[in-house]
Amino acid sequence: MTSRKRTMAYGVCGLAVVASLAAFAATGAKPYSRHEDEALSAMNEESGLGDLFSDAGDVSGADEAAIVPSVYAFGLLPSGPGIDSLSVATFSGPAVAAAAGLFLLGRRKKKQEKMPAAATQAAAEAG
Amino acid sequence: MRRIALIGLAAGFIAVSTAVAAPPFATRSDNGKTLRVPAAESSAGKVYYALSGKDRQIYFESDAPLEDIKGQSNQVVGYAVAGRGSDEASLIGGEWHLPVDSMRTGIKLRDEHLAGGDWLNAKSFPNIVFQIHEVRDVRSVKKTAAFRSYSATLVGEMTVHGVTSPIEISGATLTFLDASKATASVAPGDLLSIRASLSVTLSEFGISHPVIGNKVADEIAIDVSLFLSTVSP
């Protein structure tokens, strides 16, 4: 592989890593990927019952804010098969592995090119 | 002959202990939207039925070193029987069933694991059951023309994963709201709100797994927020 092609390949791998990290940050930086859940969305809709009691003066539930949000998140790790497998790890992992492989291959080639040159020099010195 | 008698005795003992370990639970009504109230309880007080399928009723959180898991459900069915007159907060009885497979954590695979055989085992134990037998330490908190609010300790039993354990929930809030034009537009009948916080220990209910302690906490914090009505769903 020419050095130009190698540089382009490194660029694509780098882009994949940056894009997946950007998606991770933009969707809430969750540890696991997740998608919207209809049942959760329905639960989080206010039916008006809480308001009835708070309007009447009951504030025992006023500070109750904990809910499980129904949101999409491109997580650090996959959370299951299929579409849930899309995550930073599954998207940029192969890119990092490919870049590492290219680097190691490049070093091996350089080593092999140096060896014949070294052997010729050694023969010349002996002769 | 003696061996047969001993085997028979052992079988009888196992049958009895199993029956005692799993208290009789109320059955679902014909439409499946609530539970049948025992006649003795319904005649002794005012029955309120849980309004299921609307707001979140149960929220739970597992705070472990490696992972924080949150989940909720709005499919709790059941009833509470309020005392008569000024003793309304001294509930005569109550029972609620939380279907295990109704809990949602936001991650589908995790919801399946939660209901699976390694955890709550919804196939064998489809519901988490809470039964009230007594209410103690009733204290009036606020009283207006519109509503009456009390704090109390709920005493009863909780059955999770087929194991029944006594439970006491202090600091529960019971708020009674009489039917009016304003309430009728949201839900029919007189209304009752029960809010409580408790924690359950998974190991106490026979749930064990290698990840308990690092990815799943043994102690699970639970927030309960039930709305009930005198009109059966």
What percentage of residues in chain A have a pLDDT greater than 70?
83
Give me the amino acid identity at A38: E
User: Cβ distance A10 to A44 under 8 Å?
Assistant: no
The dihedral sign for the CA sequence B216, B201, B160, B95:
negative
d(CA B202, CA B207): 5
For residues B196-217, one letter each, b for 16 or more C-beta atoms within 10 angstroms of the residue's C-beta and e for the rest, the string is bebebebeebebeeeebeeebb
User: Cβ distance B94 to B66 under 8 Å?
Assistant: no
* B7 band by pLDDT with thresholds 50, 70 and 90: low
In the prediction, which pLDDT does A127 show? 58
User: Greatest CA separation found in chain A?
Assistant: 105
The position carrying tokens 């009930």 is B228
In the prediction, which pLDDT does A106 show? 82
- Could A34 and B106 be called an inter-chain contact, meaning their C-beta atoms sit closer than 8 Å? yes
CA distance A34 to chain B (A): 6
User: Which long-range CB contacts under 8 A does B179-182 form with residues at least 24 apart?
Assistant: B179/B230, B180/B146, B182/A52, B182/A55
Nearest to B147 among A31, A49, A58 (CB): A58
- pLDDT at residue B211 greater than cutoff 50: yes
Which three-class secondary structure state does DSSP give residue A79?
A: coil
Number of A/B CB contacts below 8 angstroms equals 107
The interface residues of chain B toward chain A in range 51-80, judged by CB-CB distance below 8 A, are: 51, 54-56, 59, 61, 67, 70-74
pTM of the model: 0.83
pLDDT digits (tens, 9 = 90+) for B108-134: 999 999 999 999 999 999 999 999 999
Helix H or strand E encompassing B112:
helix B108-115
When pLDDT is averaged across residues A18-31 and rounded to a whole number, the result is: 95
Residue A52 with chain B: CB contacts under 8 Å = 177, 182-183, 186-187, 191
pLDDT digits (tens, 9 = 90+) for B53-70: 989 999 999 999 999 999
Chain B residue at shortest CA distance from A46: B55
- pLDDT at residue A122 greater than cutoff 90: no
Residue B181, chain A, CB below 8 Å: the answer is: no
